Amino acid sequence: MINEKTLVSSVTLLASLGTYFYAKVTHKDAVPYVMVGGFIGAMIGEAISGMMKKNEEDDDNNKKEGQ
C-alpha cells in the first residue's frame, strides 16, 4: 500500500499544480489559487488516506472473525 504521507503530498501537489495552471490560463494571480488548491488537495488526501486506513482495519477485523 501507499504511505499516508506520500498520498497526502501527492494529492496536494497535483491540486496545487492544477490551480496554478488554471490561474495562468485565465491570466490571474497564481498565488491565492495555489494556496487554496494546496489546502483543498491536502484535505482530499487526508480523506482518501482515512478511507484507506479504515478499509484496511475492516479487512483485518473480517479476517479475524473468519478464523
Global confidence as pTM: 0.82
Question: Residue 64 pLDDT more than 80?
Answer: no
| Neighbouring C-alpha atoms within 13 Å toward the C-beta of 23 | 16
The secondary structure of 1-67, three-state, reads CCCHHHHHHHHHHHHHHHHHHHHHHCCCCHHHHHHHHHHHHHHHHHHHHHHHHHHHHHHHHHHHHHC
CA distance linking residue 60 with residue 44, whole number of Å:
24
The amino acid at residue 6 is T
Residues 12-58 pLDDT 10s: 999 999 999 999 999 999 999 999 999 999 999 999 999 998 988 88
Identify the band that residue 1 occupies on the pLDDT scale cut at 50, 70 and 90. low
